Amino acid sequence: MNGRSLTLLLKMRLLAAIVAPGESLYLPSLLHRHHRNRPITTPSTAALPSTDFDQTDVPSLLVSILSNQNWQKHPALRMVMPIISSSHVSSLFSNNPNLDPQIALNFFHFVGRRPGFKHSVQSHFLLLKILIPHNFVGIAEKMRIFMIKGCASVDDVCFVLECVRELNKDDHPFKFKLTLRSYNELLMLLSRFSMIAEMKSVYAEMLTDLISPNIYTLNTMVNAYCKTGDLVEATVYVRKILQAGLKPDTFTYTSLILGHCRNKDVNSAYKVFKMMPTKGCRRNEVSYTNLIHGLCEAGTIDEGINLFRKMGEDDCYPTVRTYTVIIDALLKSSRETDAMNLFNEMRERGCEPNCHTFTVMIDAMCKENRLDYSRKMLDDMVEKGLVPTVATYNALIDGYCKGGKIKAAEEIFDLIELNNCKPNERTYNIMICGFCRQKNVHKAMALLSRMHEQKLTPSLVTYNSLIHGQCRVGNINDAYRLLDLVEEDGLVPDKWTYSVLVDTLCKHKRVEEARAVFDSLKEKGIKANEIMYTALIDGYCKYGKIDDANALLDCMLASDCFPNSCTYNVLIDGLCKEGKVKEALTMVQNMDRMGVKPTVATYTIIIATMLKEGDFDHAHRIFDNMISTGCKADAYPYTAFIHMYCSIGNLEEAENMITRMIEAGVMPDSLTYSFLIDAYGKLGLKNCAFDVLKRMFDAGCDPSYLTYSIVIKHLSRENLIEENSSEAGPSLVPNVSFSDVGNVWKLLEFETARELLDKMVTHGCPPNVNTYAKFITGFCKVGHLGVAWRLFDHMNEKGMSPCEEIYNSLLSCCCELGMYSDGIRLLDDMMEHEHLPLLDSLKMLVCGLYDEGKKDKAIDVFCKLLSFGYNNDEVAWNILIDGLLKSGFTDRCSELLDIMEKRGHQIHPQTYKLLIEGVHWT
């Protein structure tokens, strides 16, 4: 409820409390209430209830108001109007079937005029039950048609169908037979929702009622079957038109054109199109558009455009749908320029794009990664008064998610409901997938909860994305738990579900466990795919079990599952790491013979191997061969060369390779730049190293944790040399190894870190939030919390707002060091800034507070985390099961579960089962 509605509701409660039985709820009495001890009564007004007022009291209040002769001007009605819903109207009519029909009708229209209000099909039907017994036949017929036209969902249609059939029965006490017009409207409705079987039944009922179909009836049937491509049934109703002595018209033939196009039979559609003038039927814009759509769908877009240009010959003008059909086809054929020209032509001719046109354009622009332009188009359509559909928003959200701009996607997601639209299952699936790609699995899981709240049903796609997300962040146990939820919810996991699990287990060196999952698939009726085979082969190769990997490849081929380039690449990489380069090269030849083309990854593996052996000439020949075959290089083969040139100190060749890389349109990544910075640092060329860092900034490439570790390593070494050389000479420099980047952060002090930040400013690459995030994360990883805190304060002094990564690094470090009071303060700060803490940190915090005997603080933290909107099951898995139960706090687990339930945070039955098993185990 919004603030205005709540205020009105409180006013109504106050009014109900001050009006005694037999007194009036009349505005002057309220004005005089401040000066007198009793309200003024008006004999002509009816009594109103003096009980507490809430939403369920609205129908009762309305009865009291409507009993007044001049009810439209009743002050209480003005107050209650903003909170009246269609369900209130339905309750009013349902509970008061003897309400005066004219008053009921007038009230129905009065409420319906309120901006934003829409009557439900239920309120229409209940009004009909009041009107019909009083012989309001003409008005009832109109109301029935309004009810039919007002259906917005399949559920609405089913309700209306049942209602009209009930009233149509001969033995119904208030019999209200369907007319020809009502039957036609009903058939049109069923056609709109593609409910073909119901249409056939209603048509049969119409004949049973001895109502003769007219051309409108039969055309509706023809059109419905044509929309599904069922020309056989459509032709049956065309014959009925002729049998009835009627003549097929433009609508009939236009429907047949559509039917043939739906069957991908454009030639037959063209025949009908050409035949129309010979039958005395004018071809209209819909006839043209249907055929143009069919031609575009068949891939003959230019033929469709030629027909489009001939529309004027029949005195037809392209509609917005005609333009949209061609624009959509052009965009799908990657003819963006032609599509844009047609879009501009459309507007120049005064044919304004509709919501579907904009949606098509936005979707295409997003696929081209032109996200700013797509957002501008959304703003343009809103400015023109067009209401975006959920499909429009979905296109933009999908573009932002795939472009890694999850914050922008969230903004659009929030816009949906603000603009009186509702996210659908696809919206949630896109957002969940986007969050999982960013490894923000808690937010993805929270959206699963919101889906349930919105009465939307998560699909296997939803769960597969979430399982993938949990696997990406290493939460394999939670991935297994989600798999259990999938099965409990009646869904059947597919090969994609298990592909992710097998691949993740292998990446976490749990190859035998992955093999066990793989072997169990046969009894589940799931055929293993190339992803599972490749993951296992890679796992065996990384363990040096090349023979097992080759055996699995043979098994793969025997199962008619053909290896792809990734499969061969992991085998080739495994052979190279075992020093079996000749066998690896033979594998490349086998790959080619099997019809699988070597990829950039294939060439990069061989190039890296040649470079490690010092065979630069051979590596360059392979690289040139790759380019000559039309295989466009990405950053990896270039970086392999740059790495090796840097390792031998040949920075001229490394820089040449970077130049060649950029000229080829390939941008260096953070690893490429990091190798170069490290090489300059080793040669003591500090300024050159900083120049490379500036180049990174200028190219929009964020330095990674490794990049900053390398910069700090060389700066620290230089400082140590300077300090010691000034005292006793180079021979006294401590023998400190900086090869392990973790040691860098252990040895680094705040003053040195600040010196580096100052040097970054001097060299034209001023520190940003990402810089501080990497620094603070580096210190937190090694428990150097004091320095991390000082940097946190330093960035705040600079006017920078810490990001979620910084807060989570600090919170995790506080909890690992047992500094729970600091952790609580950080949690409060995160809440204030709307950042989401990681559940792993909260688990440590809650368990740590219980361990210290600080029960109240633990409960307070738990209550706070419930307000963050996490998925309830994920909270139970992480805090209750993996946290309290595994730490032996069984009673505390039960205590917090009670708190969850009392606050309405229900968990899945499968999670309850896990909790019970956990309690039993402890």
Residue 611 has pLDDT above 50, yes or no: yes
pLDDT tens track for 247-258:
999 999 999 999
pLDDT tens track for 657-697:
999 999 999 999 999 999 999 999 999 898 999 999 999 99
The runs of H, that is alpha helices, within 132-249 are 137-149, 154-168, 180-192, 196-208, 215-227, 231-243
Helices 441-453, 425-437: inter-axial angle, 10-degree rounding: 170
Residue 479 has pLDDT above 90, yes or no: yes
Mean pLDDT of 414-427: 89
pLDDT at site 420: 79
pLDDT at site 920: 67
Rounded CA-CA distance 872/885 in Å is 17
Rounded CA-CA distance 422/918 in Å is 39
Q: Which of 859, 702, 678, 838 is nearest to 765 (CA)?
A: 702
Residue 480, number of CB atoms within 10 A of its CB = 13
pLDDT tens track for 134-149:
999 999 999 999 999 9
Residue 834 φ/ψ region, left for φ over 0, alpha for ψ in the -120 to 50 degree band, beta for the rest: left
Rounded CA-CA distance 809/395 in Å is 34
**What band does 441 get if pLDDT is binned at 50, 70 and 90?**
very high
The runs of H, that is alpha helices, within 616-666 are 616-628, 635-647, 651-663
Residue 913 has pLDDT above 90, yes or no: no
Mean pLDDT of 728-735: 32
User: Residue 883 has what DSSP assignment?
Assistant: I
Residue 351 φ/ψ region, left for φ over 0, alpha for ψ in the -120 to 50 degree band, beta for the rest: beta
User: Residue 153 has what DSSP assignment?
Assistant: S
Mean pLDDT of 514-540: 92
pLDDT tens track for 318-332:
999 999 999 999 999
* Residues ≥6 apart with Cβ < 8 Å to 61: 12, 48, 49, 53, 76, 80
Mean pLDDT of 576-597: 88
Rounded CA-CA distance 49/15 in Å is 10
pLDDT at site 43: 34
pLDDT at site 139: 95
Residue type present at position 338 = D
Contact (CB, 8 A) for 339 and 331: yes
pLDDT at site 718: 64
pLDDT at site 744: 83
Rounded CA-CA distance 913/920 in Å is 11
pLDDT tens track for 381-410:
988 889 899 999 999 999 999 999 999 999
Convert 617-644 to b/e letters by CB count within 10 Å (16 or more is b). eebeebbeebeeeebebbbbbbbbbbbb
Give the residue, 134 or 30, on which the prediction is more confident. 134
**pLDDT > 90 in the chain, percent:** 73
Mean pLDDT of 870-887: 94
Q: What is the tally of helices (H) and strands (E) in the chain?
A: 51, 0
* Helix/strand/coil for 353: coil
pLDDT at site 41: 31
Q: Which two tokens stand for residue 246?
A: 């009627």
**495 alpha-carbon distance from chain centroid:** 22
Residue 38 has pLDDT above 70, yes or no: no
Secondary structure of 465-513 as H, E, C letters: HHHHHHHHCCCHHHHHHHHHHHHHCCCCCCHHHHHHHHHHHHHCCCHHH
Residue 243 has pLDDT above 70, yes or no: yes
Residue 722 has pLDDT above 90, yes or no: no
Supply the DSSP string of 807-831, one letter for each residue: HHHHHHHHHHTT-HHHHHHHHHHHH
**What band does 50 get if pLDDT is binned at 50, 70 and 90?**
very low
**How is the chain split among helix, strand and coil, in percent rounded to 5?**
70, 0, 30
Rounded CA-CA distance 216/333 in Å is 38
Query: Which range, of 443-452, 747-756, 817-826, averages the lowest pLDDT?
Result: 747-756
Q: What is the mean pLDDT of the chain?
A: 88
CA dihedral over 358, 361, 367, 373, signed as positive or negative: negative
Convert 237-253 to b/e letters by CB count within 10 Å (16 or more is b). bbebbeeeeeebbbbbb
CA dihedral over 678, 682, 688, 689, signed as positive or negative: positive
Convert 580-593 to b/e letters by CB count within 10 Å (16 or more is b). ebebbbebbeebee
Contact (CB, 8 A) for 15 and 31: no
Q: What is the largest CA-CA distance in the chain?
A: 116
Mean pLDDT of 150-166: 93
pLDDT at site 12: 43
Residue type present at position 325 = V
Mean pLDDT of 173-178: 87
